[in-house]
Amino acid sequence: MNTPTPRFDAREASKWFFRHGHTGWLGLRFTDQGDNWVELELPWREDLLGDRSRPVLASGPIISLMDMASGMAIWQTRGTFQPVATLDLRVDYQRPARERASVRGRVECYRITRSAAFVRGVAYDDDLADPVAHVAGCFMTIGADPREANPALGGGDA
Amino acid sequence: MPEPLELPAYARSLGVTLTGESEGGMPVLTVDFGPMVEGRPQHFHGGATAGLLENAGYAALRTALIAAGRDPMLKPINITVQYLAAGKSQASFAVGRITRLGRRNANVTVEAWQSDRARPIATAVMNILMV
């Protein structure tokens, strides 16, 4: 297999991202994407409840959902997969998710520099306009490939 | 007699447990490294680290509330997580500290670390509503 690296595609990447590890355990699924945003879904699951008294998802898995959607929104915007590290992630909870509802997380990357990326997004269960949470985050690229700075070597486009 | 501290289903299924140790009177929680918490190979996923921090924050608040004879329902208002270093393939620990316990709102600061308590890998600040 010696094909050129295609542009990062969240839908394709999801096929192997969510097979293992933390996001695989959570059962994250790809739902939608745009030029600079990605939407993922966290299915409702009995063993992810955060409260003894109500069948609603804990907030922890929602952070994982938004963190993963953030990373993928950054790769989607950049067009390449380059590992990123979360520096700062803020989640403002607007209301509890509905009982037995899965939660979708839609995150856009609104600004990207050579070493940092800024994201914002919402988590919602039913209506995008009535979110469960708002998020804002700042990420940093790690292990930056120095070839990127060299236009003679950079690009990687097909 | 005070009720024993109980972790939610999410904490239990993620593998978060109480170590039995405490710091400043607050319980220290831990999670082993494994596939359930792995993000990029051999590192903690940021979401799993946040889950540990959040659970330690709630455990600290519950501990303070039990001591005060209170048992309100807790609702998250917000959480801000700062990632300071990569979480490597070993156990992580976390403990919360109550910065302010009000009547309706609590402000809780949480730190997570691995082999060296003096080198936190992540911190969080949480505002929690009590109803």
CA–CA distance, A76 with A109 (Å, rounded to integer)? 9
More confident residue, B23 or A99: B23
Most confident of the following: A47-61, A140-154, B26-40: B26-40
CB atoms within 10 A of CB A122: 21
Contact A20 B55 (CB under 8 A): no
Could you report the per-residue pLDDT of A87-122, keeping only the tens digit for each? Answer: 999 999 998 888 888 999 999 999 999 899 999 999
Contact A47 B9 (CB under 8 A): yes
Considering CB atoms only, which of A61, A86, A92 is closest to B83? A86
Distance between A4 CA and the closest CA of chain B, angstroms: 23
For the cut 50, the answer to whether the pLDDT of residue A158 exceeds it is no
CA–CA distance, A57 with B28 (Å, rounded to integer)? 24
Contact A67 B47 (CB under 8 A): yes
Residue type, A147: R
Average model confidence (pLDDT) across chain B: 93
Tell me if A25 sits within 8 A of A68, measured CB to CB.
Answer: no
| Of residues A34, A50, A142, A156, the one with CA closest to residue A103 | A50
Chain B residue whose CA is closest to A84? B40
Name the pLDDT band for A153 (thresholds 50, 70, 90): very low
Beta bridge partners of residue A121, listed in sequence order: A107, A135
Considering CB atoms only, which of B79, B82, B86 is closest to A91? B79
Name the pLDDT band for B2 (thresholds 50, 70, 90): very low
Distance between B64 CA and the closest CA of chain A, angstroms: 18
Name the pLDDT band for A47 (thresholds 50, 70, 90): confident
Q: b vs e for B37-70, b when ≥16 Cβ sit within 10 Å of the residue's Cβ?
A: bbbbeebbbbbbbbbbbbbbbbbbbbbbbeeeee
More confident residue, A16 or B2: A16
Instruction: Provide the pLDDT for residue B67.
Output: 95
What is the arithmetic mean of pLDDT over A66-89? 93
Would you call B81 an interface residue with chain A, using a CB distance cutoff of 8 Å? yes
Most confident of the following: A49-63, A88-102, A132-146, B93-107: B93-107
Beta bridge partners of residue B98, listed in sequence order: B108
Chain A residue whose CA is closest to B56? A60
What is the arithmetic mean of pLDDT over A67-95? 93
CB atoms within 10 A of CB A100: 12
Considering CB atoms only, which of B38, B77, B80 is closest to A93? B77
Instruction: Provide the pLDDT for residue A21.
Output: 93
More confident residue, A54 or B9: B9
Instruction: Provide the pLDDT for residue A59.
Output: 79
Tell me if B52 sits within 8 A of A61, measured CB to CB.
Answer: no
Instruction: Provide the pLDDT for residue A136.
Output: 98
Contact A60 B81 (CB under 8 A): no
Q: Which of A16, A67, A74 to mutate to test the interface with B (most CBs of B within 10 A)?
A: A67
Chain B residue whose CA is closest to A25? B36
From chain B, pick out residues whose CB is under 8 angstroms from the CB of A53. Answer: 73
State whether ipTM is beyond 0.90.
yes
